[in-house]
Structure 1
Amino acid sequence: MAENTPRAVVVSQHYPPDRSGNASRIRDTCRHLSEEGWDITVLAPPPSFPHGRFQRSWQRETTSVADGVTVHRLWAWQPTADDPSFLSRLAYYVLFPLHALLWLVFNYRGYDAVVTSSPPIFTGLPGLVVGGIGGKPWIVDVRDLWIDAAVGLGFVSPGGLIERASRRFEQLVLRLADRVTVTTTVLGDRLTELYGVPNERIRHLPNGVDTDEYRPEGDPTEQTIVYTGNVGHAQDLESCVRAMESVTAANATLRIVGDGDLRAELERIVAERDLGDRVEFVGLLPRDEIPGVLNDATIGVAPLKQQPTLAYAVPTKAYEYMSCELPVIATGSGEIRTLIEASGGGVVVENDPEQLASAFDELLADVDRRETLGAKGREHVIERYDRRTVARRLDGILREVVGR
């Protein structure tokens, strides 16, 4: 590595083989930053997500290098239950940033900049010390209104001690960071409203997709509606499952690819309503198999719950669907609606099983419309949301804060 090569360290709670949208996004972003001339190091805990799918590790640190990126896995508590207890989750979220903080203190002089990716908000702790207090150029990458979502979904009591303490910490992190990157303008506006983050420090860095990896190949032979990703509390998969009772298209199947806290509950609903021939639970698959899954499908569904706290959200799966020319049926409001309408790559319906069933039937019956929506969606993401393009934006922000 050349002596004048800029060096950055990225702190992330998830990194492959963790199976989450943010894990793959961080990997692709770091790989592309390396191509742009950065020496990139990632700090992450041992693979732990989805919980209960990985063996617990007791090694203090392991190191690997791939695609020009050095990854240090730092020991942290790893939940082994599918739906961990509050204390188990808290240990997972807190012990890793503490370990990352110690690592950065001892390696402080080796890097030109620090990037901490949230959620969870606790990843801001090492940046707060070495960046906010120690003066190292520091970018906070905010992908989610984690606290708002936790309150809105009933995990945290509104106005309680946990919410107030978490917001105080997040405010401190965001105000001391040199730059704050956000996925959507709604998210940036919300951070300014909540925490007084100056607009001049906020930069738009959307989610995206590797359009070379996620590309259309072949024609689907079955009438399959696919969902890929976390089977969690922010997704309205229950409405999708119930919609399959009313879908009239012959042999139509809802294929749920992924895992999460609510899978068992959805399986119970499928069994109770005798929908076993209409709803298929595939479980977790390696990320490199997902493009093939999408190319075997007819429609992609991105069902966000209808909540104000989720108005900023655009799931990574929506970009992946469109990149594979898969027409999207989405629920929710705010930025997901804006993406679908601006791209012309799908339709947005209410969070209602009957409306979802009607939308499924209409698209399953209209090949020409599916092809039109799919082509528009791919054109839109290539132009605006390819991960190489997004990484170049981050490259510019990093060089801005380090003065290069």
Structure 2
Amino acid sequence: MSDSNRYVFVSQRYPPEKGGNASRIRDLAVNVAEENSVTVLAPPASYPPGNFDRSWERSVTERRDGVVVHRLWSWQPQVENPGLLRRLPYYLLFALHATLWLCWNHRSYDAVLTSTPPITTGLPGLAAALLGTPWVVDVRDLWIDNSVALGYVDADSPLVGASRWFQGLVLWTADRITVTTESLGAAVSEKYGAELADRVRHVPNGVDTDVFEPAAERTGSVQGEGTESDERPVIVYTGNLGSAQPLEPCIRAMDELSQDAVLRFVGDGDERSRLESLTERLGLGDRVEFVGLVDREAVPAHITDAAVGLAPIKDSPELAYAMPTKTYEYLACGVPVVVTGRGEVQRFVEVSGGGHHAEVDPEAIAEALDSLLAAPERRRQLGAAGREHVVEQYDRRAIANRLDDLLSRLVGADDGATAPQRSAVQS
């Protein structure tokens, strides 16, 4: 690890909020903070909307797991699936508040990492760069392209054009660009300039393999055989119930399933009400459960209670680089996974040997689930292979060490290296 440095991470979401983006920044911050001072700037907890009380305090400071967290006030949507007009104040006000904080405290940190999406977190990053501070932009997905692909905005709208220009400015100004998958790095270079490839570094999502581990290693119990109140095998989905995940076909697959099992959704999101209505309409209330949000500490138990994990992604070229964090968590717990989508997630499940890929179709999903539910020994083999792969390649501590090394080199603590010359955005 490096000598101690002072880092600020800027993220639109942070625990107790749920989801892969919040857990990624939290786990990276906590592990990097073992040898450094790490401060996180985030708005008041507010996602999914309606699950947290609205805060009116300008700033609230707390300490979590060795990390100082400043909750900077922003507008907090309170309705499920808020529209663009409700989301924009949430994004913009936090970005402005974080920008002011960084400017006022610019002598108290050595480097800044901003997490995107949303792209508005680039605003405080640009301010840090203008003040001469090394800046890393952590890209989890191409938010603009996803919004177009999912039908949120029109591809030809002025808003999309302005957003692309701003995203380009951010990427060309940042000293380094970290991406969660190598295919995402390639997509960034393809869309915003081949020269950016020299700045891109692969810092994948990962999992704390000491927390997410097979049930037998924690309690000696048998995994995936249901609870005392329901002996049917469980198919678990953890995380965001959003539009990028084809969850409707997964629910419909339960009507096609030959095995007697229950699909359990652990999480919340913009699509929850619609999915609950669909479940009721299809008469699948006895086969589909909605648990809602749970504490992060309770997630491993929900996974190890399951026979199979479900990690669906829409089959779209714009999402070919996506890699759900929940996939690492399932395999770390020794639970085989069924995935949908193309590109990165399909490649991962093949390389890891930890599960099956299915087309985004209820019959295909049901067939993949049936094949695993009917073969307990096969499930154990896939789960063991997946666990081994994740421990070797995606342990969160090792990934955080990689980020720490990148940041410290920018600061110059390791070898006196200087930050690369920033380039103006290309037209």
Match of 1:91 among 85, 89, 92: 89
In 2, Cα distance between equivalents of 1:186 and 1:25? 18
8 Å CA contact 2:140–2:180 kept in 1: the answer is: yes
Helix, strand or coil: the match of 1:306? coil
Q: Among residues 295, 305, 308, which one is paired with 2:314 in the alignment?
A: 305
**Which residue, out of 254, 259, 264, partners 1:255?**
264
The yes-or-no answer on 1:139 pairing with 2:160 is no
- Which residues of structure 2 form unaligned runs of 5+? 216-220, 227-232, 414-427
Alignment pair present for 1:167 and 2:167: no
Pick the aligned partner of 2:46 from 44, 48, 72.
48
Aligned AA (2:26): R
Which among 245, 264, 277 is matched to residue 235 of structure 1?
245
User: For the Cα contact (< 8 Å) 1:20–1:49, is it kept in 2?
Assistant: no
**Offset at residue 5 of structure 1 (A):** 3.1
What is the match of residue 354 of structure 2?
Answer: 345
Q: For 1:53-202, what aligned pairs fall within 5 Å after superposition?
A: 53-131=51-129, 133-196=130-193, 197-202=195-200
Q: Does the Cα contact within 8 Å between 2:106 and 2:131 map onto a contact in 1? A: no
Shift of 1:206: 0.3
Deviation at 1:221, TM superposition (A): 2.2
Aligned-partner residue type, residue 312 of structure 2: P
TM superposition score normalised by structure 2: 0.92
Q: Percent same amino acid at aligned positions?
A: 55
Letter in 1 for 2:162: A
**SS of the counterpart of 1:57?**
coil
Q: Match of 2:207?
A: 209
Deviations 1:306-349 (A, max 9, x none): 11111010000000000000000000000001110110001101
Q: Whole-Å Cα distance in 2 between the matches of residues 210 and 74 of structure 1?
A: 28
The residue aligned with 2:28 is 29
TM-score by length of 1: 0.97
Deviations 1:45-89 (A, max 9, x none): 000111111111010001111222111110000001112122111
- Of the structure 1 ranges 258-267 and 170-179, higher mean CA displacement relative to structure 2 is found in 258-267
CA RMSD, Structure 1 to Structure 2 (Å)? 1.0
Equivalent of residue 386 in structure 1, options 363, 377, 395: 395
The residue type paired with residue 39 of structure 2 is T
From 205, 217, 224, the counterpart of 2:234:
224
Structure 1 residues 46-55 or 192-201, which shifts more?
A: 192-201
> How many residues get paired?
398
1:261 is displaced (CA, Å) by: 1.2
CA distance in 1, matches of 2:338, 2:59: 43
- Secondary structure, aligned partner of 1:31: helix
Distance in 1 of aligned mates of 2:209 and 2:149: 33
Letter in 2 for 1:188: G
Stretches of 4+ aligned residues off by more than 3 angstroms: none
Q: How far apart in 1 are the matches of 2:83 and 2:147?
A: 15
Residue 167 (structure 1) shift: 0.5
Q: Which residue of 2 aligns with 1:266?
A: 275
Q: How far, CA to CA, are the matches of 2:253 and 2:119 in structure 1? A: 35
The alignment partner of 2:326 has SS state of: helix
* Residues 319-334 of structure 1 mapped to structure 2, 5 A cutoff: 319-334=328-343
The whole-number CA distance in structure 1 between the counterparts of 2:408 and 2:197 is 19
